[in-house]
Amino acid sequence: MTDIYEKGSQAEQLALWTIRCAKRGPGAPFSVWMTAHQDHWRDLHAISTLFRDINWTVAEQRGIGLDIAPPGQVWTTLEERHLLRAAAAAQAEDDAILAELAATLSPHPALVPAIADAAAMLGAVLATHGYWLPKPESECSRLPGPALSVARRRSAVWDRADVMWP
């Protein structure tokens, strides 16, 4: 989910909704929407509570919490997209991207592990229930089929290239 108005997959919608429930108060009911997900609503509620606690800690550190929209908002914020990418990186076991995104979101170095762990737990809970987030963009250069023979003759560097076979 890179565009602020993009709807995203069902996994992205569920992850975003779980993150956004962090803006709700501790006594608020989880949602009627969760009746379709009764088998794993407790896991998602625990993750949402964890994000709420982290949001309060961030608010204490920098005066304002993470930029998380309420559950009914149409567009996504930059920090929500960072959290979604961090959860996707955790599912793809890409610790470097996960740590980088957690450091981007954290106002204090001591909060980086908490944000990274929360994103990793969100990714794990979603994967446990069959929801896989799209992998973060890779740095690999993609060469079309005819360019392979040209690149082979010009001694291209192949260590970071994906080969797409027909």
Q: What is the pLDDT of residues 130-147, one digit of tens each?
A: 889 987 665 545 545 555
* Residues with Cβ within 8 Å of residue 69, at least 6 apart in sequence: 20, 23, 75, 76, 77, 80
Report, as an integer, the average pLDDT of 113-125.
Answer: 95
Residues 37, 98 within the same domain: yes
Q: pLDDT confidence of 157, banded at 50, 70, 90? A: low
Number of domains in the chain: 2
The string of DSSP codes covering 57-87 is: HHHHHHSS------TT-SS--HHHHHHHHHH
Residues 87, 117 within the same domain: yes
Report, as an integer, the average pLDDT of 114-128.
Answer: 94
Range of the domain at 113: 10-128
Q: Distance (Å, rounded) from C-alpha 65 to C-alpha 153?
A: 54
Among 6-15, 96-105, 150-159, the least confident range: 150-159
Domain annotation covers residue 1: no
Residues 150, 80 within the same domain: no
pLDDT of residue 101: 93
Domain annotation covers residue 134: no
Domain annotation covers residue 154: yes
Report, as an integer, the average pLDDT of 47-66.
Answer: 89
pLDDT of residue 107: 82
Return the higher-pLDDT residue of 15 and 140.
15
Residues 93, 30 within the same domain: yes
Domain annotation covers residue 89: yes
Instruction: Label residues 113-132 b or e (16+ Cβ within 10 Å = b).
Output: ebbbebbbbbbebbeeeebe
Q: Does position 83 have pLDDT exceeding 90, yes or no?
A: yes
